[in-house]
């Protein structure tokens, strides 16, 4: 797990609320749209060899929750 030293969850952030207001907070994704950097500070990218394999959510500074299939290797 790579932790970007430039990003952090600040103590005054409200859990579940973006620090930077995205343009379409309550709309569903249709066609996709690039997120404003740092607008979802708890969202993480799980990467292997610099390749994104799954997303996750930061629970604490040490713990990330993700789907089981992200690490279902044979």
Radius of gyration of the chain from Cα atoms? 14
64 falls within a domain: yes
> 33: closest CA among 24, 42, 45?
24
Looking up residue 53, the CATH number of its domain turns out to be: 2.40.10.10
57 falls within a domain: yes
74 falls within a domain: yes
pTM of the model: 0.54
54 falls within a domain: yes
Reported as a single tens digit per residue, the pLDDT across 38-70 is 788 888 999 989 899 999 999 888 899 999 998
Residue ranges making up the domain that contains 72: 40-74
CA 62 – CA 74 distance, rounded (Å): 26
24 falls within a domain: no
58 falls within a domain: yes
């Amino acid at each position: 797990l790579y932790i970007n030293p430039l990003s952090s969850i600040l103590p005054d952030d409200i859990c579940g609320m973006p620090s930077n207001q995205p343009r379409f907070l309550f709309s569903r994704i249709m066609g996709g749209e690039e997120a404003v950097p740092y607008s979802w500070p708890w969202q993480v990218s799980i990467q292997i060899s610099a390749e994104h394999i799954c997303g996750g959510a930061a629970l604490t500074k040490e713990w990330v929750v993700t789907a089981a299939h992200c690490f279902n290797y044979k």
